[in-house]
Amino acid sequence: MGRWLVVYSSVTGNTKKVAEAFCEAVGGTLAAVEDAKMPEGFDAVAVGYWLWRGGPDPKTAAYLSKLSGVNVALFETHAAENRSEHSVTAFARAAACLGKNCRVLNVFECQGQVPEQVREKRAKLEAEKSKDPHAKAQGWKTSVGHPGEADLAAAKEFALRTDKKLSYFLKKGDA
């Protein structure tokens, strides 16, 4: 039996980097959400996604809804500041997508670099004092270089803590 299936959705490569760090820390089978199977034969699944309208992207939301009775770790990348209301609420939205009887073991967030063309658009909106709700968000300014070495080290620590928690449930027979 495999321990971890690590599923990710990534447009710019940010979430894939975090998924790879998770696998490097605890081992596992890495799969893009488009190619991911259900985690039969695995003890748990770690699912990573980028934020889309305040929650997981559509492909990941669909995958999460198919899971049932599984131990799950969630990780997300986003343009917001870490621990912002936006990023915290996104975890609740991801958990709400899960099928029946899933246990969320742990969550991790990481700011991801916003593409240059998007940063330029946000800067223009800010300069124009636009009423667009994204014009007030400031995460795009601090996103450059993320996920960096410190972020990926934190992702590995997240993986190790989550794997330890999984071991507890497996040992207890409550997995």
Separation between Cα atoms, residue 124 and residue 108, nearest integer Å: 31
Q: Are residues 43 and 129 in the same domain?
A: no
3-state secondary structure 48-70: EEEEECCEECHHHHHHHHHCCCC
Q: Are residues 124 and 105 in the same domain?
A: no
CATH of the domain at 44: 3.40.50.360
What is the predicted pLDDT for the residue at 1?
A: 42
Separation between Cα atoms, residue 137 and residue 141, nearest integer Å: 9
Q: Which two tokens stand for residue 143?
A: 């996103």
Q: Is the peptide bond before 147 cis (omega within 30 degrees of 0)?
A: yes
Cβ neighbours of residue 26 under 8 Å, at least 6 residues apart?
3, 4, 159, 160, 162, 163
Q: Are residues 65 and 83 in the same domain?
A: yes
Q: Are residues 136 and 91 in the same domain?
A: no
What residues make up the domain containing 133?
115-141
Full-model pTM: 0.86
Q: Are residues 66 and 152 in the same domain?
A: yes
Q: Are residues 42 and 62 in the same domain?
A: yes
Number of domains present in the structure of the chain? 2
Instruction: Count CA within 13 A, CB hemisphere, residue 167.
Output: 7
Identify the CA nearest to 107 among candidates 87, 85, 81.
87
Q: Are residues 49 and 105 in the same domain?
A: yes
Q: Are residues 12 and 93 in the same domain?
A: yes
Chain segment 29-63, per-residue pLDDT in tens: 999 999 999 999 999 999 999 988 889 999 999 99
Chain segment 62-119, per-residue pLDDT in tens: 999 999 999 999 999 987 777 777 788 999 999 999 999 999 999 999 988 777 777 6
Alpha-carbon Rg of the chain, whole angstroms? 17
Q: Are residues 20 and 99 in the same domain?
A: yes
Separation between Cα atoms, residue 145 and residue 48, nearest integer Å: 19
Q: Are residues 12 and 66 in the same domain?
A: yes
Band (pLDDT 50/70/90 cuts) for residue 26 is very high
Q: Give the DSSP letter string of 28-43.
A: -EEEETTT----TTEE
Q: Are residues 136 and 155 in the same domain?
A: no
Q: Are residues 75 and 100 in the same domain?
A: yes
